[in-house]
Structure 1
């Protein structure tokens, strides 16, 4: 099956932050297997050494390096990468985390999944580095703002939910991008893919889980912060996951939903914190402080909503 015309429309967009070694390991093989696709690496500023390494790698591989003077977050990086790709005439955009890998054949399947002029976003089944399911589609529970996987959704068929796809490996067509204007940069990190998915559906677009092809997302301990528990996440993870739950509610939900999510914010913050395991709480200052700050900012967003109402 020849897919040269579709491949030539493809831009692979990667947002880098201190991960040039992962680009060497993961992105180089993918890009070489798709020679007619163009690669855009947005380097959100971490160090001058890292920025130099990304530029050198891009020059060697024939990619477009987009070094940023500051860290614009994931959504901001995606917007800059896709903006450059659109200026070059590309019409389909594969978002790929530095710690994610996917085969060329799977990419072509995703390309065909978003063919046509209807707004469409597609994602594969994603496993972790140990071969366990990491993402097989997700839902957002509208009753409390919790996120769940497909198994939970199957066990709760009467729950009020919205579907969403992860930005770790996501194929977007030009119609979807144009319909919603890209990613919302207010989130900075986490939940921007949920926001994007919901807005695409609200604009009449399709979310497509292509679970007969797969990718691998191997976080490889990048969230670890020296905790005795290897599952521990960074303070950044806790802050933005907790805060952005209420930010999305404020942006996309009605007043009643905002109030309901705010009322259970403490429970939600605890659940997010415990994703990193209990052993991290042997040294609780950083994780608990970050979780509290995220909760406080979320409550501030809810109060501001009340005042506007």
Structure 2
């Protein structure tokens, strides 16, 4: 007699266990296994994580280094599998999703293990943070909304999504090369190439308090604007990882469009923290963005030296599903 699939919620922590605990709280006392991956930040934080996890029955993964979001999530997904859970909900520590919405997401995956599904993500003030987005494969630019042209591909935000844990591992999980930013775009493209399907349940909601974690500690925190603009990690990895994505996933005959759009993209990333921050704090803003762009160009150069045809397949755009699930992303 077939067994009922067991779900796990996976949260990656870095220096903000109080937020991670709040994210896991709705799942206490339920059938859900709660997995917390504590990327190393300090001995004091590790002690707090172990104490909270022991008191509340979390499954803890305790790496001795800061793995970054993607590799940390992969470690949590593997721990979920080891605990007998094949339905995984990955959740940012500064995000919250109700149990009803979480159950609906994993029910979709239980019915179709080719599905990677996310809810709509709102800000605490009720604004839209993610309701679907697309990547233009010809120019390397992202925008809100579903795919609108032949060169657009959808992708799903890593802030909150559900998928089969075993299938996530089979497609390679997140890529640890990214560390922060663009790893969810990369996973989405590889997921669809492997025959999977992306969806957004716009009738379900997750609340994302962007910047709720300590500045510089998680990818959400690094996206937070301060009086000095975005963090250096934000500027570096957003510029670098766009070109790393191209090296890994975009046909070489399309690299020209990505390169031509790179100066405008770097400028756009810089201005997300405000023009004043760029002028007043260039070592924190302009310099990391230029370093990230240079590192991304190095990734393209290295990929060009690989054997012909390597990393050369273009993603196939997905079409819309009209039955309440929208194929698309952030």
Q: TM-score, normalised by structure 2?
A: 0.84
Alignment of 1:39-78 (within 5 A): 39-78=34-73
CA positional deviation for 1:238: 1.1
- The farther-off stretch of 203-212 and 259-268 is 259-268
Larger RCO (CA within 8 A; separation ≥ 6): 2
Distance change in 2, residues 1:120/1:158 (3 Å): closer
CA positional deviation for 1:141: 1.1
- The farther-off stretch of 220-229 and 51-60 is 220-229
Q: Is the 8 A contact 1:242 1:272 kept in 2?
A: yes
What is residue 134 of structure 1 aligned with on the other side?
A: 129
Distance change in 2, residues 1:20/1:181 (3 Å): same
Give the secondary structure class of the aligned counterpart of 1:57. Answer: helix
CA positional deviation for 1:224: 7.1
User: Aligned to 1:304, which of 302, 305, 322?
Assistant: 302
What is residue 223 of structure 1 aligned with on the other side?
A: 222
CA positional deviation for 1:253: 1.0
Is the helix fraction higher in 1 or 2? 1
CA positional deviation for 1:306: 3.4
What is residue 245 of structure 1 aligned with on the other side?
A: 242
Structure 2 residue runs without a partner (length 5+): 213-220, 309-330
1:117-136 CA-to-partner distances (Å, cap 9, x unmatched) read 54210000000122110000
What is residue 98 of structure 1 aligned with on the other side?
A: 93
RMSD: 2.0
Q: TM-score, normalised by structure 1?
A: 0.90
1:125-173 CA-to-partner distances (Å, cap 9, x unmatched) read 00012211000011111121111111xx57xx33521000011101011
1:255-297 CA-to-partner distances (Å, cap 9, x unmatched) read 0122321232121111112122223222222111110110110
Distance change in 2, residues 1:226/1:168 (3 Å): closer
Aligned residues: 296
**Alignment of 1:167 onto 2:162:** no
Q: Distance in 2 between matches of 1:227 and 1:96?
A: 24
1:215-250 CA-to-partner distances (Å, cap 9, x unmatched) read 101023533788426xx3211111111101111111
